[in-house]
Amino acid sequence: MIFPVPPEEEEAVTLSEEMVERRMQRFLSRKERYQIKYKSIYKVHQRVAKEFRVGRVLLAGDAAHLTIPWEPSV
């Protein structure tokens, strides 16, 4: 699961068991606690090209992106 986090929230608070459990319960409430096997903070890095066409070169599609941390390495 991915949850947005306020930028002013401290990482220790964000990753605390209580905060993770609270966010999970708001998403899908259940009586028992969730078993969390992995948690980390992922910061989004957006980049937009200044120009999409220069001469005969055209930038199109989703050809360049950063690897997300939970994606298996190849």
CB-based burial label for 66 (10 Å; 0-12, 13-18, 19+):
exposed
Which one-letter DSSP state was computed for residue 57? E
pLDDT tens, residue by residue, 18-56: 999 999 999 999 999 999 999 998 877 777 788 889 999
Task: Report pTM.
Answer: 0.62
pLDDT of the residue at 49:
81
> Helix, strand or coil for residue 13?
helix
Distance from the Cα of residue 2 to its chain's centroid: 6
Per-residue pLDDT at 12 exceeds 80: yes
Query: With contact defined as beta carbons under 8 Å apart, do 13 and 19 qualify?
Result: yes
Distance from the Cα of residue 15 to its chain's centroid: 13
